[in-house]
């Protein structure tokens, strides 16, 4: 049996800040972390995003949210992201919403449709459209 990845934590050292548009220094960004939910008995590795309220959400669950809520994981500046990270302590809180097999298949199809950068660009376009930017 393979060794499980690390559990999701509130340790900022385990997080990555990812610019949604790598070539734009003013690009919004997301905070991510790979790991498994501490309550997951199967140790399924997932990517989690930090929401602005300090609650983590996994990428498949996030993909099911309406566009108006998708921006909850976007930070306009690295200072905002670092401020959010500085408020985390104790065990991580995870936004737990029902996800169906169809949701998981749709997300996998999206990821397979292009590179990770393409997926981020698509997300950025939806985020900007929801905010009324072009």
pTM, two decimal places: 0.86
4 domain residue, yes or no: no
91 domain residue, yes or no: yes
Q: Which pLDDT belongs to residue 66?
A: 81
Q: Which domain holds residue 61?
A: 12-131
Sheet holding 46-50: strands in order across? 16-19, 29-35, 46-50, 56-58
Of the candidates 33, 20, 29, which has an alpha carbon nearest to the alpha carbon of residue 88?
33
Q: Which pLDDT belongs to residue 69?
A: 82
49 domain residue, yes or no: yes
Q: Which pLDDT belongs to residue 130?
A: 77
29 domain residue, yes or no: yes
Kindly list the averaged pLDDT for each block of 10 residues, start to end, along the chain of length 134: 76 93 88 92 90 94 82 93 95 92 88 75 78 66
6 domain residue, yes or no: no
- Cβ 8 vs Cβ 37: under 8 Å: yes
7 domain residue, yes or no: no
Token pair 């983590």 is found at: 56
**DSSP three-state, residue 30:** strand
Q: Give me the number of domains the chain comprises.
A: 1
């Amino acid at each position: 049996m393979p060794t499980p990845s690390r559990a999701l934590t509130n340790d900022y050292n385990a997080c990555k800040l990812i610019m949604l548009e790598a070539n734009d220094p003013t690009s919004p960004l997301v905070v991510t972390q790979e790991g498994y939910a501490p309550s997951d008995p199967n140790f399924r590795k997932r990517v989690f995003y930090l929401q602005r309220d300090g609650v983590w959400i996994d990428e498949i669950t996030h993909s099911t949210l309406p566009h108006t809520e998708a921006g909850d994981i976007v930070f306009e500046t690295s200072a905002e992201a670092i401020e959010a990270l500085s408020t985390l302590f104790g065990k991580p809180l995870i936004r737990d919403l029902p996800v169906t097999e169809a949701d998981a298949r749709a997300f996998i199809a999206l990821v397979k449709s292009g590179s990770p950068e393409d997926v981020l660009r698509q997300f950025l376009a939806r985020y900007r459209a929801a905010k009324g930017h072009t």
